[in-house]
């Protein structure tokens, strides 16, 4: 079964009502690849604004979700609140939350379990630091992160994996096409060995890390790269070119 090309846009902590309306207008008017699944993740404050104005066919993701159903958790958003608002995706485990906000593999895994079991699909992120890359530990780090989430979830059908080398996020540095493909292949091999052939074959693995309109087409050609999780470029017109990279 062919895996459907997937492009996520992570706005991070960027945007205003005016600028986000402009991005949404651009996406609504663009000719997008009908065979690509597109999900955009504005800051939480603008989730409903985007959901209200975005055309059918493009979905909306939160940039985080909490692993408790409700209660005294100031600043957090629950799975049921996302569902109630028509938000059916969340990004979890992004390196900025792991490194800046201290989220452990286990915390990310717990959030992933609660989200997927509650009906919110997850773009689950993994990746290594420059120090880990230079020490030859890339695959070890990614496999450790995979093992943590695999211990918590039994059903992978609502999980999309995003491999994001930390050293390539927002730096302008991009893993070479071969470096990216090699890690994606290693992730698929791990899924095959530790989960199932079916999950390994069907799970989409995205590349993230300074993806732009110039490098996306070559990356999209790789056997195990099923799309992208895009940061800064998702705020720019070239995001349309990235969505259409697999045409």
Domain boundaries, the chain: 5-243
- Mean pLDDT of the chain, nearest integer: 96
Asked if 230 contacts 208 with a C-beta cutoff of 8 angstroms, the reply is yes
Give catalytic status of residue 103 as yes or no.
no
Looking at residue 24, what is its pLDDT? 98
53 catalytic? Reply is no
pLDDT score for 1: 60
- Among 37, 94, 96, 143, the one annotated catalytic: 94
Q: Is 6 helix (H, G, I), strand (E, B) or coil?
A: strand
> pLDDT band for position 23 (50/70/90)?
very high
- Predicted pLDDT of residue 116: 98
Cα 236 to Cα 243: distance, rounded to the nearest angstrom = 12
Tens-digit pLDDT profile for residues 145-165 = 999 999 999 999 999 999 999
The bridge status of strand 89-92 relative to strand 58-62 is parallel
Considering the candidates 96, 128, 164, 184, report the single residue annotated as catalytic.
164
Q: Which CATH superfamily is domain 5-243 in?
A: Aldolase class I (3.20.20.70)
Identify the bridge partners of residue 162 per DSSP, sorted by sequence position: 125, 206
For the whole model, what pTM was predicted?
A: 0.97
Ordered DSSP codes for 66-94: -SSSSSS-TT---HHHHHHTT--EEEE--
Smallest CA-to-CA distance from 241 within 7, 1, 2, 4 is with 7
């Amino acid at each position: 079964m062919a895996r459907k090309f997937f492009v996520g846009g992570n706005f991070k902590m960027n945007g205003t009502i005016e600028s986000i309306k402009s991005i949404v207008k651009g996406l609504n008017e663009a000719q997008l690849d009908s065979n690509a699944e597109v999900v955009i993740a504005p800051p939480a404050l603008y989730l409903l604004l985007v959901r209200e104005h975005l055309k059918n066919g493009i979905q909306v993701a939160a940039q985080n979700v909490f692993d408790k159903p409700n209660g005294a958790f100031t600043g957090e958003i629950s799975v049921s609140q996302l569902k109630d608002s028509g938000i059916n995706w969340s990004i979890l485990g992004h390196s900025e939350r792991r490194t800046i906000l201290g989220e452990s593999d286990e915390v990310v895994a717990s959030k992933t379990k609660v989200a997927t079991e509650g009906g919110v699909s997850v773009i689950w992120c993994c990746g290594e630091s420059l120090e880990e890359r230079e020490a030859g530990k890339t695959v070890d780090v990614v496999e450790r992160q995979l093992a943590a989430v695999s211990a918590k979830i039994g059903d992978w059908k609502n999980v999309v994996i995003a491999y994001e080398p930390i050293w390539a996020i927002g730096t302008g540095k991009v893993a070479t096409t071969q470096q990216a493909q090699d890690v994606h292949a290693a992730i698929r091999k791990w899924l095959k060995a530790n989960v199932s052939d079916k999950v390994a074959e069907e799970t989409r693995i995205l590349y993230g890390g300074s993806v732009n309109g110039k490098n996306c087409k070559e990356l999209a050609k790789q056997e195990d790269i099923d799309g992208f999780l895009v940061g800064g470029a998702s705020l720019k017109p070239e995001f349309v070119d990235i969505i259409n990279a697999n045409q």
